[in-house]
Amino acid sequence: MFSLWLLYSSWGYILLDDVKTPKRIFANIYKKIGQQEATIALVNFSEQFILFSPYRIVHFGYHSQADKQLSAAYMWLQNSSEARYVLINKKDTRAECFKEEALIPVGYAHRAQWVLLSRDALTDKCSLPKTSISAFKYEPPK
């Protein structure tokens, strides 16, 4: 039994690292958008995403309802020409708000398939109600 725990706690953690942390997600984002001065909004996420991010992060409340976060992210993405992206679980996207062909897959972590959305993914017919929840910002150390 001891050897099983020893094996799991050393080698098992290394194998599970890619699915239990967002490291691979951010590595894939880097492959897609490079090292530009981008800001990424998180929707319905685990706090680990903030801790592992090499990019500036915006989120709309960790405990806010997912629909309100999605609405705020849609408006945030729509109202700027800067390099902005939204990182979201693919199942939380809405076809009336985001073009399926513009979703950028970036990997699997935390039991979810994550996609990156740019301004190009927005549709004109999004029916999400406007929201005024606050945006929280994080800038990683340089």
Give the pLDDT confidence of 21-67 residue by residue, as tens digits: 788 999 999 999 987 789 999 999 988 899 999 999 999 998 899 99
Per-residue confidence (pLDDT) for residue 20, from 0 to 100: 63
Domain ranges of the chain: 21-138
Per-residue pLDDT band at 100 (split at 50, 70, 90): very high
The pTM of the full predicted model, rounded to 2 decimals, is: 0.86
Q: Could you write out the DSSP letters of every residue in the chain?
A: -HHHHHHIIIIIHHHHHHHHSSHHHHHHHHHHHTT---EEEEES--THHHHH-SSEEEES-TTS-HHHHHHHHHHHHHT--SSEEEEEEGGG--TTTB-GGG-EEEEEETTEEEEEE-GGGB-S---PPP--PPPEEE----
Average pLDDT over residues 101-122: 94
